[in-house]
Structure 1
Amino acid sequence: MTHPLRAVSLADAVRGGRSSARAVTEAALDRIAAGNPALNALVAVHAEQALAESEAVDRRLAAGEDLPLAGVPVAVKDTIWVAGRRVTQGSRLFADFHATGDAIAVERLRRAGAVIVGMANTSEFACKGVTTNPLFGPTRHPMDPKLTPGGSSGGPAAAVAGGLVPLALGTDAGGSSRRPPAHVGAVGFKPGFGAIPYGPGFAEPFTGIAVLAPIAADVADTALMFEALAGPDPRDPDSAAIAPAEERPIASLTVAYSPTFGLDAPVDDDVREAVERAVEALAAAGARIVRPAGSFPRWPAGITETALMPLQHAGLAALYGEAFRRDPGLFDPDIAVQIERGLSLTAAEVAAAQLLGVETGRALAAQFAGVDLIVGPTTPCVAWPLDRLGPETIGGQPVPPRAHAVFTPLFNHAKVPALSLPCGTGHGGLPVGLQIVAPRGMDRRVLRFAAFAEKTLAAGQPDSQP
């Protein structure tokens, strides 16, 4: 039986007249009223606007329109413009800002018949690996309120995993919409750069790599949302067409399994074991899994997230440095540290990080000449306590606060599509994510393989729902 919160089934019921967009929206608002206070996943709920939008969807259907997301409730990250709504970026600087227009992706959601029910929590400026900010406080993990869902799209991920909405729209400039879904047991898809048009909206601290990212409970819903959003738009010069769906059998794809994505990074045993079991199950189901010898992928010398972070710090300093100088107390202390670092950087240090990012993309592209996909862990650990920036140890080793984020940022710099799929559980029954990566332009290959993997892994779990 299909889960009642699946977007595919909800839209099908509304299009088929078995339900209405208004009824679906009313049910979502009831769930949000009951469940959101404990999660703090949504920081604004627009009930009147949502009901009005749902009634408009019902009228459009009655007039004969074909709406692939008919009546589906969507939460939008509080960094993405939704016309007329308060959009704050989790910052006191924007506490009273109201968007003057829709982002192109939001415009496309509405065109497809989706209903925007509210704004989902984020870290300030989407620049932190946990979801808390000076305006709204922390978002909590749906399975344990003492844990964080990660960040910065913890609000969208918790809203989906907590059963408040079937779909959410996040952003991803370093893993923000893959790591939180991995931690809460949802699907998070970072499309290739340009696959979904970006803006209009706020300036992005991490320029040239940020994308808008669908988050959903399963792959079919993720693909449905992606198809409604993808495709070029002249308002975004970076937007581009992507390859159509392939007809190749899954068994013909060469899939490289890399337990650490070629990085010298510790991984907790429970995560490693869950990912290993998932990869073995995929191989048994017919996937052509290869285990490259040595370090794979082979990255440029000196590559680490730390080596690339000057780009984020410099971006924050450029955008908000003057406001920081006037009143540092306006900012989340963790963001203030990043702005201070950005203000202290030299032009040469920023340029070096930019060049390293370009080299990262070229290095990965060369290695895709021999494989069709790369898989490995989304994160090296499961969720951790809410009051910490990251776990204190991973793989039995003391680690810095960003060690939990090690496996996602390089794929942003390479501008390739990458998806996190639930693949099992670690200690305490907490979710573990499998990250699936393809060459740039092959977004639909990622989604197709993820659907195969989801079905394969569900077959090994008798109690799971399809």
Structure 2
Amino acid sequence: MTAAFAFWPPVAAIAAAVNAGRSTAGAETARALARIRELDGEIGAFTSVDEADAARRAAAVDARIAAGERLPLAGVPVAIKDNIWVKGHPITQGSMLFRAFIAPEDAEAVARLVAAGAVIVGIANTSEFAAKGQTTNLLHGATRNPWNTAMTPGGSSGGPVAAVASGMVPLAIGTDAGGSSRRPPAHTGLVGLKPSFGAIPYGPGFPEPFFGISCICPIARTVADTALAFEVMAGTSLVDPHSAPLPPDGGLRPDRMRIAYTPRWGLDVPVEPEVAARVDACVASLRAAGLAIVDADPRWPAGAAETGLGAIQQSGLAALHGEAWRQRPDLIDPDLGAQIAAGLTLSGADVARALLLSEEVAIAGAAFFREGGIDAAIGPTTPCAAWPVEHLGPATIAGMPVGPRGHAVFTPLFNHTRQPAISIPCGLDGAGLPLGLQIVMPRGRDRELLRVAAALEAILAG
């Protein structure tokens, strides 16, 4: 099947219609629920949909509108990833270990969405513990790519992107500790923003195995929709000691910026020729539009790849779930079991070395912008398009053998730099599958990044 691209109007238009009385939250919610019933049997985006709860939430929004409130997300149907708490809903992290868990409260980001008038219509699938780049798990099964259901949407935010790309909902919320809300949008023709670390409060929720790098992320069809959701969720909160205010918006305009084009983000890794050619064509269009784009690569410390940094995730998973895996390995996805087993073999020095490398990566990422006089950087979001749903990752890229994370090399470094990064669509490969362009800016420049992304989106769409 092919995604129903024209199904939803822009998020702001939905809210405007509900605020003005031209539509209702109830009508928009009914539309989303009907679409889910029609499509999700084939796609598997949702782990649970409580239609009665969604109707109650919509009625509450309509009552607020009738009482005179005007809400930025009035009546907008939203899917929430299955590792973010939504009070009263089963939130399982895609794991048999949590199949009976009911969230006792909302995550702060969810509470802010609800306060803004959004209607949560369902919980969207994730890989177990949001810890691999393909969305399958023992509890809920596989999520499929709406562009071609033989393919994966990537992971771990495969459920949220499939829900949006298929037209079931106009907006979804994911998480990103290594690219989980940038790569899946790239594989499904969407926009996914990983904010600066701390820009959107994280929690209350499950203990996080990804130390100090995971973010709550809006996913939508356009930069404008993504930016609206970001503004609703952003801001400090006492529930998250790492949440931090953004610095003042410097007002930097794309036509006055120095933008680095980095075809491999400074890494010696294979890229599919079609991806390289498509991204090169996008960059040529941006240069033709008058943007000042220079060729420049970040310089990363030795070992700055997931092989060097992976000990952080592995040890975190082992600390949280190692005992459960020892007792009942059959209840955990074997791909996650392998990570947990690796984590259990690590020494304290091994973990410390990975954490020190993470700090070196953060320093190098900041230096790239500061020392090079660079305002923003662009390059491919992924080195390949989506691959068959049954595989953890492609076996080869550009004819070269790669490991199970070979498809994920361009996103994790910017979790460790804590810098904002966004993926926007940049065309299709020869098989008609979407590709993404990643844009990165210095930490705290989220609003400027969104403005730059919107400008690039307009140029590439033209």
Residue equivalent to 1:345 = 346
Residue equivalent to 1:432 = 435
Residue equivalent to 1:307 = 308
1:132 aligned to 2:127?
Answer: no
What code does the residue aligned with 2:330 have? G
Residue equivalent to 2:254 = 250
Q: How far apart are the structure 1 equivalents of 2:54 and 2:379?
A: 39
Residue equivalent to 1:464 = none
Query: Offset at 1:2?
Result: 7.9
Q: How far apart are the structure 1 equivalents of 2:100 and 2:110?
A: 20
Q: Deviations over 1:136-167 (max 9, x none)?
A: 10000101111001100000011111100000
Residue equivalent to 1:99 = 103
What code does the residue aligned with 1:345 have? L
What code does the residue aligned with 1:251 have? D
Contact 1:244–1:444 (CA under 8 A) maintained in structure 2: no
Query: Offset at 1:393?
Result: 1.0
Q: How far apart are the structure 2 equivalents of 1:445 and 1:216?
A: 18
Contact 2:8–2:167 (CA under 8 A) maintained in structure 1: no
Query: Offset at 1:435?
Result: 0.2
1:332 aligned to 2:336?
Answer: no
Query: Offset at 1:170?
Result: 0.2
Q: How far apart are the structure 2 equivalents of 1:249 and 1:6?
A: 24
Residue equivalent to 2:358 = 357
1:89 aligned to 2:93?
Answer: yes
Query: Offset at 1:367?
Result: 1.5
1:34 aligned to which of 11, 21, 38: 38
Contact 1:243–1:443 (CA under 8 A) maintained in structure 2: no
What code does the residue aligned with 1:320 have? H
What code does the residue aligned with 2:388 have? P
Query: Offset at 1:224?
Result: 0.5
1:43 aligned to 2:23?
Answer: no
What code does the residue aligned with 1:347 have? G
The 3-state SS of whatever aligns with 1:309 is: helix
Contact 1:243–1:444 (CA under 8 A) maintained in structure 2: no
1:218 aligned to 2:222?
Answer: yes
C-alpha spacing 1:248/1:18, structure 2 compared with 1 (3 Å) = same
Question: What residue ranges of structure 2 are gaps of 5+ in the alignment?
Answer: none
Q: How far apart are the structure 1 equivalents of 2:50 and 2:269?
A: 43
Q: How far apart are the structure 2 equivalents of 1:247 and 1:3?
A: 34
1:115 aligned to which of 96, 119, 129: 119
Q: How far apart are the structure 1 equivalents of 2:9 and 2:82?
A: 22
Matches within 5 A, 1:334-413: 334-369=335-370, 370-413=373-416
The 3-state SS of whatever aligns with 1:238 is: coil
Query: Offset at 1:185?
Result: 0.5
Contact 1:140–1:147 (CA under 8 A) maintained in structure 2: yes
Q: How far apart are the structure 2 equivalents of 1:355 and 1:253?
A: 32
1:449 aligned to 2:452?
Answer: yes
Contact 1:2–1:9 (CA under 8 A) maintained in structure 2: no
Q: How far apart are the structure 2 equivalents of 1:109 and 1:80?
A: 13
Matches within 5 A, 1:413-424: 413-424=416-427
Matches within 5 A, 1:47-66: 47-66=51-70
What code does the residue aligned with 1:419 have? I
Q: How far apart are the structure 2 equivalents of 1:441 and 1:35?
A: 38
Matches within 5 A, 1:195-344: 195-292=199-296, 296-344=297-345
The 3-state SS of whatever aligns with 1:75 is: strand
Aligned length: 456
What code does the residue aligned with 1:120 have? A
Q: How far apart are the structure 2 equivalents of 1:70 and 1:190?
A: 24
Residue equivalent to 1:458 = 461
Query: Offset at 1:3?
Result: 6.1
1:20 aligned to which of 11, 24, 28: 24
Contact 1:5–1:165 (CA under 8 A) maintained in structure 2: no
The 3-state SS of whatever aligns with 1:368 is: helix
1:157 aligned to 2:167?
Answer: no
Q: How far apart are the structure 1 equivalents of 2:106 and 2:180?
A: 21
Residue equivalent to 1:463 = none
Contact 1:42–1:118 (CA under 8 A) maintained in structure 2: yes
Contact 2:251–2:448 (CA under 8 A) maintained in structure 1: no
Deviates more, 1:42-51 or 1:348-357: 42-51
Structure-2-length-normalised TM-score: 0.97
Q: How far apart are the structure 1 equivalents of 2:69 and 2:289?
A: 40
Contact 2:134–2:392 (CA under 8 A) maintained in structure 1: yes
The 3-state SS of whatever aligns with 2:145 is: coil
What code does the residue aligned with 2:340 have? I
The 3-state SS of whatever aligns with 2:39 is: helix
Contact 2:252–2:448 (CA under 8 A) maintained in structure 1: no
Contact 1:5–1:163 (CA under 8 A) maintained in structure 2: no
Question: What residue ranges of structure 1 are gaps of 5+ in the alignment?
Answer: 460-466
The 3-state SS of whatever aligns with 1:87 is: coil
1:148 aligned to which of 136, 152, 158: 152
Identical pairs, percent: 57
What code does the residue aligned with 1:69 have? L
RMSD over aligned CA atoms reads 1.1
Query: Offset at 1:306?
Result: 0.8
Contact 2:161–2:188 (CA under 8 A) maintained in structure 1: yes
Query: Offset at 1:442?
Result: 0.4
